[in-house]
Amino acid sequence: ASCKREGFTAAPKVKWGDIGALKGVRDQLQMSVIAPIKHPEVYESVGVRSPSGILLWGPPGCGKTLLAKAVACESSASFISVKGPEFLNKFLGESERSLRQVFQRARASAPCVIFFDEIDAVVPRRDTAANENSSRVVNTFLSELDGIDSRGGVFLIAASNRPDVIDPALLRPGRIDKLLLVDVPTSAERPEILRALSKSMPLEESVDLNQVALDPRLEGFTGADIAALVKDAATLCLKRTVFNTSFEEFSLTRTDQTRVKINADDFEM
């Protein structure tokens, strides 16, 4: 029951192998979060402080949440996941209190990765927000962020689709000083995502994921769109080969022989 409390999720089981493409972003996260969590003494010895905060930004469905989960899982850190809008519309003073609680829980369970989705909702530009209440929340957030430190084993990974509306004070050195773009995959990256998403599926021999990735209908597909395509293909395959038979005939041999055909033709676009 304790992991059901606000802001807590079960330890994520996302490994690097579950993520396709995004090589540059993964390398950066490896060096600035995973390695410092696993080998703090190495960073200590050369006097390098890794950033305490990182911003993943870009359009929805391209893997920001997935990356944050993989960082926590690969470094065996605990993981606290919250969404910006959860802290809005609370009674006076309550938003600040819940924010402080998140950081306090993180320090208590260090090493810990805090994933803060839709950060722009909590830290909007103070010049435009012009609202006393929201600027108090921004100040609380900044002071909590200043209080964490990679040496204390607490890392913040924030995510936003709208980095332009974030208060610039948040992006100053020593706070969130690494901004990583998580963008829609290119056609050259799509095969890697298809492979990652179908790696535990028995694929039909004729399926050529490189070919599927080049289908013009997949142009502009996000990782989430590709995940939907793969899932639809698997469901359709079950429908055709397994559930099509009468219930008495339904047998394990049958599912053993099931092969998934991933094909853009079968996807409702």
> Judged by CB, which is closer to ligand ATP: 62, or 82?
62
Shortest Å, Cβ 21 to ligand ATP: 5
Shortest Å, Cβ 228 to ligand ATP: 8
Shortest Å, Cβ 269 to ligand ATP: 17
> Judged by CB, which is closer to ligand ATP: 53, or 153?
53
Shortest Å, Cβ 120 to ligand ATP: 11
Report which residue's Cβ sits closest to ligand ATP: 223
CA-to-CA distance for 43 and 36, rounded, in angstroms?
A: 6
> Judged by CB, which is closer to ligand ATP: 230, or 237?
230
Shortest Å, Cβ 73 to ligand ATP: 13
Shortest Å, Cβ 65 to ligand ATP: 3
Beta bridge pairs of residue 205: none
Shortest Å, Cβ 84 to ligand ATP: 11
> Judged by CB, which is closer to ligand ATP: 61, or 111?
61
> Judged by CB, which is closer to ligand ATP: 150, or 194?
194
Q: In what order do the strands lie in the sheet with 78-83?
A: 78-83, 112-117, 154-160, 53-57, 176-181
Which parts of this chain interact with ligand ATP (CB under 6 A)? 19-22, 60-66, 117, 161, 182, 193, 196-197, 223-224, 227
DSSP the chain: -GGGSTTB-PPP---GGG--S-HHHHHHHIIIIIHHHH-HHHHHHTTPPPPSEEEEESSTTSSHHHHHHHHHHHTT-EEEEEEGGGGSSPSTTHHHHHHHHHHHHHHHT-SEEEEEETGGGTSB-HHHH--HHHHHHHHHHHHHHHH--GGGTEEEEEEES-GGGB-GGGGSTTSEEEEEE--PPPTTTHHHHHHHHTTTS-B-TT--HHHHHH-GGGTT--HHHHHHHHHHHHHHHHHHHTTTS-TTT--HHHHHT--B---GGGS--
Q: By the 8 A CB rule, do 199 and 17 touch?
A: yes
> Judged by CB, which is closer to ligand ATP: 61, or 153?
61
> Judged by CB, which is closer to ligand ATP: 182, or 237?
182
